[in-house]
């Protein structure tokens, strides 16, 4: 577009997100944040009404979430947010440590230092709140995936990051004594220093700490369920926004 004689020609790209993608991002975010906790029923009709969309984008969203193993499809009954056992959670995070350490090695020397410097600044700032720290942490792990020279490896890591997200949410928000800055700051600094051996060890500890919290939460929920002598309350229909 040209504004006035001799003006510099500029082209600004405006990203258009489809209704289906908006629906997917919204529902995925709600699952990750625990607004749709494990075991919750997700009915197409109720979700369509809640978000003011047709059932088509909702159906597509549920299909994608099932492929990502965040939900389970229930023939004729919509879907249910996946409820993993403590062992399944442990296995998932153990698998992620293997893949992400491999990805970190593959991405060595390709991770933009300017991006790492920005993240280090966030983690080093004691004024950074927990929400921003968590967001920056997600950016860090995605940066590793995006920097892989092996695109297949990067894509597999992204899938695992998404599958782990609801359980990492527990780690980040349920531990009152958890310092969201110190642990991440150490890891980012090791990557910036290209101390790959120590960075991998710290990465494993960082990921598995979330697994332990998720496993403990699952065991506590199972105990509560057993003592109550009934199943945990699970809504059959999506709730209307309040």
Show which of 83, 115, 134 is a domain's final residue.
Answer: 83
Specify whether 132 is located in the same domain as 214: yes
Write out pLDDT tens, residues 55-86: 999 999 999 999 999 999 998 888 999 988 88
Whether 37 contacts 80, CB under 8 Å: no
122, 54: one domain = no
Whether residue 211 is contained in a domain is answered as: yes
Tell me, yes or no, whether 187 lies in a domain. Answer: yes
Residue 134 lies inside a defined structural domain of this protein: yes
Do residue 77 and residue 91 come from a single domain? no
**CB under 8 Å to 84, separation ≥6 — which residues?**
38, 92, 167, 218
Residue 16: band (very low, low, confident or very high) from pLDDT cuts 50, 70, 90: confident
Residue 203 in any domain: the answer is yes
69 and 188 co-located in one domain: no
pLDDT, residue 179, reads: 65
Examine the domain organization and report whether 155 and 194 are in the same domain.
yes
Q: 43-52, 176-185, 232-241: which has the highest mean pLDDT? A: 43-52
pLDDT value at residue 186: 95
Closest-CA residue to 104 (of 194, 166, 172): 194
Residue that terminates a domain, selected from 43, 60, 83 = 83
The SS3 assignment for 220 reads helix
Same domain, 32 and 109: no
Give the residue, 111 or 134, on which the prediction is more confident. Answer: 111
Is the CB of residue 203 less than 8 Å from the CB of residue 101?
A: yes
134 & 209 share domain: yes
In a domain, 14, yes or no: no
Beta bridge partners of 80: 41, 72
Residue 231, pLDDT score = 36
Q: What does the pLDDT look like over 184-211, one tens digit per residue?
A: 999 999 999 999 999 999 999 989 887 7
Element (H or E) spanning 145, and its range? helix 130-146
The residue range of the domain holding 61 is 19-83
Name the domain boundary from 55, 83, 111: 83
Query: Of the ranges 10-14, 72-76, 215-219, which one carries the lowest mean pLDDT score?
Result: 10-14
The pLDDT of 38-56, averaged and rounded, is: 94
Residues 146 and 71 placed together within one structural domain of the fold: no
In a domain, 210, yes or no: yes
* Interval 152-169 mean pLDDT: 92
Please check whether residues 90 and 204 belong to one and the same domain. Answer: yes
Query: CB under 8 Å to 110, separation ≥6 — which residues?
Result: 147, 148, 149
Partners of 42 in beta bridges:
79
Q: How confident is the model at residue 167 (pLDDT cuts 50, 70, 90)?
A: confident
Domain count for the chain: 2
Chain-centroid distance, C-alpha 147: 18
For residue 63, the domain's CATH number is: 1.10.10.10
Given a cut of 90, is residue 46 above it in pLDDT? yes
Burial classification of residue 241, based on how many CB atoms lie within 10 Å of its CB (0-12 exposed, 13-18 middle, 19 or more buried) = exposed
Residue 58 lies in a domain: yes
Range 65-70, long-range pairs (CB < 8 A, 24+ positions): 65/24, 65/27, 65/28, 65/31, 68/159, 68/162, 68/163, 69/163, 70/28, 70/31, 70/162, 70/163, 70/166
Question: Are the C-beta atoms of residues 140 and 161 closer than 8 Å to each other?
Answer: no
Query: Nearest 5°: phi and psi at 198?
Result: -70, -35
For residue 12, being part of any structural domain is answered with no
Are 79 and 97 contained in the same domain? Answer: no
Q: What CATH number has the domain bearing residue 149?
A: 1.20.120.530
Q: Of the candidates 98, 99, 97, 105, which has an alpha carbon nearest to the alpha carbon of residue 207? A: 97
Q: Is pLDDT of 5 > 90?
A: no
User: Are 79 and 112 members of one domain?
Assistant: no
Same domain, 69 and 122: no
**Which residue has better confidence, 192 or 218?**
192
DSSP-derived secondary structure for 173-214: HH-TT--TTHHHHHHHHHHHTT-HHHHHHHHHHHHHHHHHHH
Closest CA to 80 of 88, 70, 95: 70
């Amino acid at each position: 577009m040209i504004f006035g004689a001799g003006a510099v020609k500029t082209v600004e790209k405006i990203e258009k997100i489809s209704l289906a993608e908006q629906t997917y991002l919204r529902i995925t975010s709600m699952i990750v944040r625990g607004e749709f906790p494990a075991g919750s029923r997700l009915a197409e009709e109720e979700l369509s009404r809640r978000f003011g969309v047709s059932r088509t984008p909702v159906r597509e969203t549920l299909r994608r979430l099932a492929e990502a193993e965040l939900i389970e499809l229930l023939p004729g009954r919509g879907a249910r947010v996946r409820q993993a056992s403590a062992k399944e959670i442990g296995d998932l995070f153990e698998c992620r440590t293997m893949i992400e350490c491999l990805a970190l090695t593959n991405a060595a020397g390709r991770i933009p230092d300017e991006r790492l410097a920005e993240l280090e600044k966030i983690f080093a700032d004691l004024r950074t709140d927990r929400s921003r720290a968590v967001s920056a942490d997600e950016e860090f792990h995605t940066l590793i995936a995006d920097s892989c020279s092996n695109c297949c490896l990067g894509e597999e890591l992204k899938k695992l990051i998404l599958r782990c997200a609801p359980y990492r949410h527990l780690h980040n928000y349920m531990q009152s004594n958890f310092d969201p800055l110190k642990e991440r700051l150490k890891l980012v600094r090791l990557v910036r220093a290209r101390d790959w051996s120590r960075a991998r060890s710290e990465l494993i500890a960082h990921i598995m700490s979330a697994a332990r919290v998720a496993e403990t939460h699952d065991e506590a929920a199972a105990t509560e369920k057993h003592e109550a002598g009934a199943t945990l309350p699970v809504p059959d229909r999506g709730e209307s926004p309040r």
